[in-house]
Chains A and B, each alone.
Chain A
Amino acid sequence: MNFRTLIGASALALTTALAAGGAQAQGVSVSISCGALGQELDICREGAEAWAEQTGNSVTVVSTPNSSTERLALYQQLLAAGAADIDVFQIDVIWPGILGEHFIDLAEHMDGQQDEHFPAIVENNTIDGRLVAMPWFTDAGLLYYRSDLLEKHGFEAPTTWQEMTDTARAVMEAERAEGNDQLWGYVFQGRAYEGLTCNALEWIDAHNGGSVVNPEGEVTVNNPQAIEALALAGTWIGDISPEGVLNYAEEEARGVFQSGNAVFMRNWPYVWALANAPDSPISGNVGVVALPKGGEEGKNTGTLGGWQLAVSRYSANPEVAADLVRYLTSYEEQKRRAIVGAYNPTIAGLYEDPEVLEAVPFFGDLYDTFVNAVARPSRPTGESYNRVSAEFWEASHNVLTGAATAEQALADLESSLNRMSRRGW
């Protein structure tokens, strides 16, 4: 290897990079991080570019890992280092408490636009009186089903988890007998990550088993309803759910459902637009309802998800970046995103907009589910939330794999959470 050539080549590469950097000086360049689940990245880019065209600035869209656990890890490293690489961050509904101090107060940049959004989410994003993030879209877990298969075998969409289990098994067995041997009953997010926390919280809340840690910060998870909920989920693996579900996140579950290999799926609203797209094998045969109740006494519920936009304190152009946030969270842009991608608006008025309802009919029916979604215990546990969530998903994962019974897993979980909060959260 000739080292002189090597050095020459790297020097050339460096000069080119510097020249490219200098050429963007016209207008202001802002970068935004967007998720890339399904068509999320494209829709984000379209919105950001529309803003860039209007304002004469330029915008770079950065895609981030699909797993929210990994995305948070990436953000933490960037923000802890004070990096100015990303100006606008797309953050999860549970992160304002963890990341808040790295973001600017958006209230003064929004012209009062924040008052149009759901007050609960705005409050969630307000840390110590500072609006650290603007609501972009909200999410709640939903139950998707194959309307054609349910109709063929004479079933209705289930209203309880037990009924879902029975229906899934009956349809799966009947279809397999007819030679459709790839078919499974139910797929969900069973990998040991934040998504399993969302799923397991839904099972427990549907049985009125609380939300792991109550708003006062007490550990409430070891109760009979929660045990009943997890025990039922533990019976699914290998029966109505493939064993692989233990390593599925959102997109793996959608892959199985959308290729026609599952009767039911738990997922977020974004799947609606993709499953019904013209190139989807199950287009037109997909139904969606609120997640089932945990028995007759239980309730329909869904974990509150959703994403916010925040501006980094380390940004070189915080005001321009805040303007991008204002544009992306506005009524018009949220409407476009709802129609094109079925992203739930955070503005109540959009749920009555005829054009939105025509594109995504279930927004009207499931309005209550979205507004009353159960929140993960990120407020009472503050900075410890990630550890709480990790303990919770591990306990749930142990029940699913059969490594522990529900009683055992929840008793262990209770003691480890109590240990963790020994000096307060």
Chain B
Amino acid sequence: MAMSAKSSELTRARVRSAWLFLSPMLVVLALVAGWPLVRTIYFSFTDATLSNLSDYDFIGFANFIEYYEGEWYGVIVDPDWWRAVYNTIWFTVVSVGLELILGMIVALTLNAAFPGRGMLRAAILIPWAIPTIVSAQMWGWMLHDQFGVLNAILMGIGIISQPVAWTASPDTALWAVVMVDVWKTTPFMALLILAALQMLPSDCYEAARVDGINPIKVFFKVTLPLIRPALMVAIIFRALDALRIFDLIYVLTSNSRDTASMSVYARQQLVDFQQVGYGSAASTLLFLIIALLIIVTLMVGRVRLGEDPR
């Protein structure tokens, strides 16, 4: 009994010092993440405007949904909002899916030992290292229909006969955004997967080689199950990022409703239209939608973030 009392004393001391060390971070988090979030939710129940932020009234759920003279109003019944939700989810699924596949290929390639591997690993990180706003503007010029280099190349090798208006045409605009995002974040995905690959025990592979098993089968039966926890973490990171995409879409296609994401919609209401209350309601919904999607992903993927990937 004495032993156990002593150990729980020790545990308590450890817990105390853990909290002590954590407290600065918790305070900072509460200030930079908690407070703005609470304030946004608070504003979503008011009719505040940007021109005068100190004077507003509470209007309940009217920003979300309101019945007025026989018609429904509010974010929840705004078709543009649901268009933005659809755009965002479509973008997330397609871009994260492509990044996963390409990132996996890059990671498997870089996992092999060959001369100059260190250099190459550093080089593939360049797109990830460029600030998004810079790469988006750069791609904006490269995708320009009249003097963009992409059209010049494609026409030069005869794939297209007329310049394509990548960011202007509603058919290609969202694909153009996806392409730039894939270009930019595949290195990040590749790096996370590569880190997981490097942790793998080599004995499974030796056993597989001794048994003469087809490398493709090895990949699906051995590699994939082993790196699945790390993969899920990478997917959740990227999905979180992609669901709140703003800068890339805004720079490439401005406020166009064909490509607007949830963040673009919320910003337009908040800043361009000065409706802080309505925009905050959209931001609150954005937060709820992302939270919901992440919870679903975690449950479906049976990922326990608290557990070390093994």
Contacts and interface: CB of A to CB of B under 8 A. Distances in A.
B168 interface: yes
B167 interface: yes
Interface residues of B, number: 31
B224 interface: no
Interface in A172-221: 182, 190-193
Interface in B254-301: 254-258, 268, 271-274
A252 B144 contact: yes
Contacts of B71: 419
B49 interface: yes
B146 A73 contact: no
Contacts of B52: 101
B272 A386 contact: yes
Interface in B163-213: 163-165, 167-170
A98 interface: yes
A391 B101 CA distance: 40
Contact of B254 (A101, A192, A383, A387): A192
Nearest to A401: B170
Q: Is the interface of B mostly helix, strand, loop or mixed?
A: loop
B146 A255 contact: yes
Contacts of B49: 383
B251 to A, nearest CB: 10
B76 to A, nearest CB: 15
Nearest to B269: A387
A389 B258 CA distance: 17
A334 interface: no
Interface string B44-85: 000001111100000000000000110101000000000000
Contacts of A77: 271
B257 A73 contact: no
A69 B273 contact: no
A80 B69 contact: no
B78 to A, nearest CB: 10
11 contacts: A69-B272, A182-B146, A192-B254, A193-B254, A243-B165, A246-B165, A247-B145, A247-B168, A247-B253, A256-B146, A422-B73
Interface of A: 67, 69, 72-73, 76-77, 80, 98-99, 101-102, 182, 190-193, 242-248, 252, 255-256, 259, 261, 383-384, 386-387, 390, 394, 397, 401, 403, 419, 422
Given A76-B271, A256-B146, 6 more contacts: A72-B272, A243-B165, A244-B145, A245-B168, A255-B146, A419-B71
| Nearest 5 A/B pairs, CB to CB | A244-B145, A247-B168, A244-B165, A246-B168, A243-B165
Interface of B: 49-53, 68-69, 71, 73, 144-147, 163-165, 167-170, 253-258, 268, 271-274
